[in-house]
A and B are shown apart, each in its own frame.
Chain A
Amino acid sequence: MEGVLLVIVALLPILLGIAVYPIGRKSQSAGHIFTMCAMVVQFVLTLATVIVCYGNMMEFTLPWWKLSFTMSGVHGLGFRGLYLLVLNFMWLVAAVFSPEYFRGDTRTHRYYSFMLVTLGGTCGMFLAADLMTLFTFFEIMSLSSYVWVVHTETDEARRASTSYLAVAVLGGMVSLYGIMLLQHHLGTLELSQLASAIAQSDISRKTLMVAVCCLLFGFGAKAGMFPLHFWLPKSHPVAPAPASALLSGALTKAGLLGVILVCFRILPGDDVLGYIILALGTITMVLGAVRALFSMNIKEVLACSSMSQIGFVLLGLGMQQLIDPAMGSADGPVVSLGVSGAVLHMLNHSLFKLILFLCAGICYKCCHSLDLNDLRGFGRNKPWLMAVFMSGALGITGMPLFSGYVSKTMLHEAIVEYAVHSGMPLLFKSLEWAFLLSGGMTVAYMTKLFVAIFVEKPARPEYEENTPCASLATQIMLAVPALAVFAMGALPRKIMESLATAVTMSSPLSYNRRLLEYPHYFTWECLSGAGISFAVGILIYLVLIRKGLMIKGQYKDRWPKWLDIENGIYRPLIKASAALLKFLSLTVAKLPDLLIKLLSPRESHKEYGEYVRYKMAILVGRIQDKLHPQEESHVPAAIEMEKDLSWTHQVIMDSFSFALLMACIGVAAILVYVLWSLLKV
């Protein structure tokens, strides 16, 4: 019966979110207090749920609304439990930071309300035990987070949010098609039974791949996977900073959850799927990093960086798909390095982006600009901000002793190990280099941000003053993930590896074999990867950014505008197909009327009819004149009326409806004739 906790965790925030709207509308501060209380309650509940679940399984199905939830703690903190905690923690931190960020904003009730609803949607997604529940909460999450993106209501925000909504709903529709296919062929959507149902059913490989690709489309779009990544670098910068932190740190992970489920629950160890994910992941990883190098908007850099890091995770998942079948021949230790690395990098990335986006939010709150040129030197006198930002930045670049290094090393090792066993060493060698190069670019763009904000000469004199830039609560709340990043990186075996083992063994990943050997992080072999990345990164920074992208000390965005995939391809494509559909539908609509026009050459009739009607109208007018001799002549009015009438007549007589009427009269006449002839007989 503890299972009911799962439902509460998923649905309570939604109800509270609906409740906060009217409260916040009455008084903004009451709305804030209510939200904070709600967040704390929700966090405590989550904690309680995870603790209760520790060591056993929880399952629950709502009796009337067929939603089923599950969470496993059999092997310690499972994937769902871990992410539930992370999500609620992120929301809590974002909520603590919100009031100071939104000072003076009169629409916070809307923001708070949808923030809670989105939390419910995301939690529900991570707890879902079947695809239908997953989809339901996916849609709730996608649509309610739309309000975040549009929050500022500027033209830019509206444009970005339109893409966001379109991608969200399109992704939803396509994955719904995939879910329908699975339901139709398998008869079940329960995650734990999908794989066995596939084995038993007669579903063809082609259909299955179509279904899987549909699901991948929908979830990949949410995760920011190439080629559906374009909304991400646009919508994250326009959203309010706490929301961007969640969009990037939590919502993309919900997309990744979908990809994970597709990988491990529907087609485990399928190498075609593996190659697809690997290829798309690699492109996402490199593209995001390149784009981040060029951008000079701090949040855009971070958003592109999110994209790139998602690419890292996808790469790990793809590797895992490939490694599995090779396992029989290869030696054991690599078994779940890909997936461990991917899951840990997901977790890390959530923390990094929470830190970094909130730091960006603090900058924006104080300077009202996101442009790097305006932010130069902002953090020089702010040691706390520098320390926190530094921890996020070092983490994301994969500096040893910080948690990013551990997950990246695992991913790196997965590639290196598999390269030996695969038949295509060259391919995986180049993959490794793409990996290291992306790592290098990460170093470069994070150095760019750090140098600009914390090292360079202040762009405005007021930056030199040592005023506190964030409230105490925010400072404390932000220090927690910053310290966690360091602690996790410093004690990789104690924290990260035991987490990875528990997570990969519990559902939905369910690797029932224990990992024998994790890499030795502080050996020359592993450190050399990070070393190469850092060397490449510093080189890129010095050559490309300092020489190529800075003109007279100003950062310049030299990314060619025409390379924008949204404006270059998707929007024109949608416009063109809309125009085509409109043209077709208009043609189709006019077809019956056109047919009638072509089939009825009644020009002469028309003239004759007009003449008769005209005479009739004059006659009517004259009769009226006779009846009311004292009034003025009625003839002009009658002629006017005739003109009106004939115009309406003309329109309708040339239409399909009139033809239908005629057909009806014809049918009636035939009926009368038949009756008459029957009677005669």
Chain B
Amino acid sequence: MGVLLLITILIPVATGSVVFLFKGLKFSHIRGIVSLGVLASSVLTWWLALSGTTESFTLVNFTSDLSLTLQLDGCGRIFALISATLWPLTALYSFEYMKDHPRLHLFYGFFTASYGATLAVAFADNLITLYLFFEMLTLTTIPLVLYYLTDEAKRAARYYMYYSIGGAAFAFMGVICVIVLGTNHGQFVMGGSVLMAASEYPFLMRTMYVLSFVGFGVKAALFPCSAWLPRASVAPTPVTALLHAVAVVKAGAFAVIRLTYYGYGINYIKDTWAQYVVLALTAITILYGSVQAVRQQHFKRRLAYSTVANMSYILMGVALMTDAGLVAASSHMVFHSIIKIVAFFAAGAVQHHAKCNYLQELDGIGRKMPVTFACFTVASLALVGIPPFNGFVSKWYLGMAAMAQGSTMGLICVIVLMISAFLTLIYMFQAVVRAWFYPSCQANSQAVEAGPAMTVPMVVLSVAILATGLFAGDIMSWLNSLLGV
């Protein structure tokens, strides 16, 4: 049973390697191989997650107490299921988007391999395993950012690399701290494992915690390390949509959850300066991301900044350090993934079929691409947090969690959420209103509706946005049971 975890990870990696190494493959072959690999792995992940297996599988024992171990627990299951659901849909989307692109072996090789790395992050059973696969994810996604090989892409890739490696260093310090001083050698236990050490060296532990929070937070575009994410939107849209709105950034948030709740434990950090620092950082990032998004006129970059803000919604939930905060954070992790991927898919469809990149070029495009923009409108409504769409649910729970926190900081968090929601309205609806209610402009005169490979994932996920909003009660109790709170 446990070995299945390893197989699930290896399938995409193997598929990716095949595609990458056999350069001469035709597009139709690549398509077949990639869909097979991704689907197989997704089905396995779903099966594993639903079967509720808790067996672990140890790959390597470094020392007697340090090992590479895979296991699927509740928290990991959430992240694994998000990836397993969205990857096949994105692959389908990319088949239309990438059709006429060069160097497809490179794209699909790394695109598929990064799936393996993402799943491995979800399956990791201890901090050192998590850290290892986290870095692998970085390495497999750098070529994807670099894909177009333009100056801008090269610069973006370098930014991405430097930030990631720099963040990794800080994260590593925190990881070592937990492994050396904790009682559990970094294995994940709800409630953390550094109780003893924390009472002995409180300041050291808290400093280490803040450093590693920021270190892992680099991936989740936490201020001050958020500059890489908007730049990375030069990558092809399937990458931006899946990796830079879901997999990579969510892996960052996921690692922070692991670190906070399963590594350090919230008891020694809650209500100390460490919590206030990280909460303040997330609040700043939310405002910063939203304001920057309003400023951007480039469609994809606008969405990327919105991701910066929304990732910090999740981190804010984590930093509240209550059970309610954790549940709210994971619900936003799930919901934001769906919302943002739809928004990026729409942006990509516009880029591909109308050759438009800027907001001003969207005038009246809704009439030419009705399905795409209907989906985008749904995503916008959800992102602003309008009931009954799912964005409202996570916003509500985040707000309630922040309020229950009780301190002034909690109230400030709620107000920040509200301001950000209003800014979200501005930056999302400028696009929506232009698309539907402005007279058509010259720039998008060539626009045609996207093909089925693009619209099907969008429509499916838009329906999911509504459905997860309607069945929010069930989903929240499911998340509660998974997280064991």
- Which residue numbers of A lie inside 8 Å of B, CB to CB? 64-66, 135-136, 139-140, 143, 150, 153, 158, 161-162, 165-166, 169-170, 172-174, 176-177, 180-181, 183-184, 578, 581-582, 584-585, 588-589, 591-592, 644, 648, 651-652, 655-664, 667-668
Contact: A657 with B473, CB < 8 Å? no
Contact: A183 with B439, CB < 8 Å? no
What 0/1 pattern do residues 381 to 419 of B give for CB contact below 8 A with A? 100101110000000100110011000000000110010
What 0/1 pattern do residues 459 to 481 of B give for CB contact below 8 A with A? 00000000000111110000000
Contact: B437 with A150, CB < 8 Å? yes
Given contacts A585-B288, A667-B169, contact A64 B225 (CB under 8 A): no
13 contacts between A and B (CB under 8 A): A65-B473, A150-B433, A150-B437, A169-B421, A177-B414, A180-B399, A180-B414, A588-B223, A660-B218, A661-B162, A663-B166, A663-B170, A667-B169
Residues on B with beta carbons closer than 8 Å to the beta carbon of A656: 224-225, 227
Say how far A428's CB is from chain B's closest CB, in angstroms. 38
Other-chain contact of A158, B158, B163, B288, B437 (Cβ < 8 Å): B437
What 0/1 pattern do residues 278 to 294 of B give for CB contact below 8 A with A? 00000010011001101
Given contacts A661-B165, A664-B165, contact A174 B433 (CB under 8 A): no
Name B122-169 residues within 8 Å CB distance of A: 151, 154-155, 158-159, 162-163, 165-169
How far, in whole Å, are A623 and B414 apart by their CA atoms in the complex? 64
How far, in whole Å, are A350 and B405 apart by their CA atoms in the complex? 45
Say how far B320's CB is from chain A's closest CB, in angstroms. 14
Contact: B155 with A589, CB < 8 Å? no
CB-nearest residue of chain B relative to A66?
B473
Contact: A136 with B388, CB < 8 Å? yes
Contact: B400 with A657, CB < 8 Å? no
Given contacts A65-B388, A180-B399, contact A173 B421 (CB under 8 A): yes
Residues on B with beta carbons closer than 8 Å to the beta carbon of A65: 388, 470-473
Say how far B13's CB is from chain A's closest CB, in angstroms. 26
CB-nearest residue of chain A relative to B473?
A66
How far, in whole Å, are A149 and B469 apart by their CA atoms in the complex? 27
Residues on B with beta carbons closer than 8 Å to the beta carbon of A174: 418
How far, in whole Å, are A441 and B292 apart by their CA atoms in the complex? 48
Contact: B169 with A139, CB < 8 Å? no
Other-chain contact of B287, A66, A136, A585, A591 (Cβ < 8 Å): A585
How far, in whole Å, are A172 and B418 apart by their CA atoms in the complex? 10
Contact: A64 with B474, CB < 8 Å? yes
Residues on B with beta carbons closer than 8 Å to the beta carbon of A140: 386-388
Other-chain contact of A652, B162, B387, B472 (Cβ < 8 Å): B162
Chain B interface residue count, Cβ-Cβ cutoff 8 angstroms? 54
Contact: B292 with A664, CB < 8 Å? no
CB-nearest residue of chain B relative to A174?
B418
Contact: B154 with A648, CB < 8 Å? yes
How far, in whole Å, are A511 and B245 apart by their CA atoms in the complex? 54
Contact: B288 with A578, CB < 8 Å? no
Instruction: Report which residue of B154, B223, B224, B381 has the largest number of chain A beta carbons within 10 angstroms of its beta carbon.
Output: B224
The number of inter-chain residue pairs (CB within 8 angstroms) is 130
Residues on B with beta carbons closer than 8 Å to the beta carbon of A651: 155
Other-chain contact of B471, A64, A150, A582, A644 (Cβ < 8 Å): A64
Given contacts A66-B473, A184-B403, A667-B172, contact A657 B295 (CB under 8 A): no
How far, in whole Å, are A660 and B228 apart by their CA atoms in the complex? 12
Contact: B163 with A657, CB < 8 Å? yes
Contact: A589 with B288, CB < 8 Å? yes
Query: Does B47 belong to the interface (CB within 8 Å)?
Result: no
Query: Does B203 belong to the interface (CB within 8 Å)?
Result: no
Contact: A173 with B418, CB < 8 Å? yes
CB-nearest residue of chain B relative to A67?
B388
Contact: B386 with A588, CB < 8 Å? no
Contact: B162 with A588, CB < 8 Å? no
How far, in whole Å, are A681 and B155 apart by their CA atoms in the complex? 44
How far, in whole Å, are A91 and B362 apart by their CA atoms in the complex? 34
CB-nearest residue of chain B relative to A153?
B437
Query: Does B22 belong to the interface (CB within 8 Å)?
Result: no
Contact: B292 with A658, CB < 8 Å? no
Other-chain contact of A663, B169, B223, B381, B470 (Cβ < 8 Å): B169
CB-nearest residue of chain B relative to A647?
B151
Query: Does B422 belong to the interface (CB within 8 Å)?
Result: yes
Given contacts A143-B386, A170-B422, A173-B422, contact A578 B155 (CB under 8 A): no
Given contacts A180-B400, A578-B294, A581-B287, contact A660 B388 (CB under 8 A): no
Contact: B403 with A655, CB < 8 Å? no
CB-nearest residue of chain B relative to A139?
B386
Given contacts A153-B439, A165-B429, A651-B155, contact A588 B288 (CB under 8 A): yes
What 0/1 pattern do residues 288 to 317 of B give for CB contact below 8 A with A? 100110110000000000000000000000
Residues on A with beta carbons closer than 8 Å to the beta carbon of B168: 664
CB-nearest residue of chain A relative to B474?
A64
Other-chain contact of B295, A582, A588, A644, A648 (Cβ < 8 Å): A582
Contact: B169 with A655, CB < 8 Å? no
Contact: B159 with A652, CB < 8 Å? yes
How far, in whole Å, are A652 and B159 apart by their CA atoms in the complex? 7
Contact: A183 with B471, CB < 8 Å? no
Contact: A657 with B404, CB < 8 Å? no
Contact: B291 with A582, CB < 8 Å? yes
Residues on A with beta carbons closer than 8 Å to the beta carbon of B169: 660, 663-664, 667-668
Residues on A with beta carbons closer than 8 Å to the beta carbon of B295: 582
Say how far A49's CB is from chain B's closest CB, in angstroms. 22
Contact: A177 with B418, CB < 8 Å? yes
Query: Does B425 belong to the interface (CB within 8 Å)?
Result: yes
Say how far B302's CB is from chain A's closest CB, in angstroms. 14
CB-nearest residue of chain A relative to B163?
A657
Say how far B370's CB is from chain A's closest CB, in angstroms. 9
Say how far A81's CB is from chain B's closest CB, in angstroms. 25
How far, in whole Å, are A108 and B440 apart by their CA atoms in the complex? 18
Contact: B162 with A657, CB < 8 Å? yes
How far, in whole Å, are A165 and B429 apart by their CA atoms in the complex? 10
Given contacts A64-B474, A663-B169, contact A180 B396 (CB under 8 A): yes
Given contacts A582-B291, A585-B287, contact A652 B165 (CB under 8 A): no
Residues on B with beta carbons closer than 8 Å to the beta carbon of A135: 387
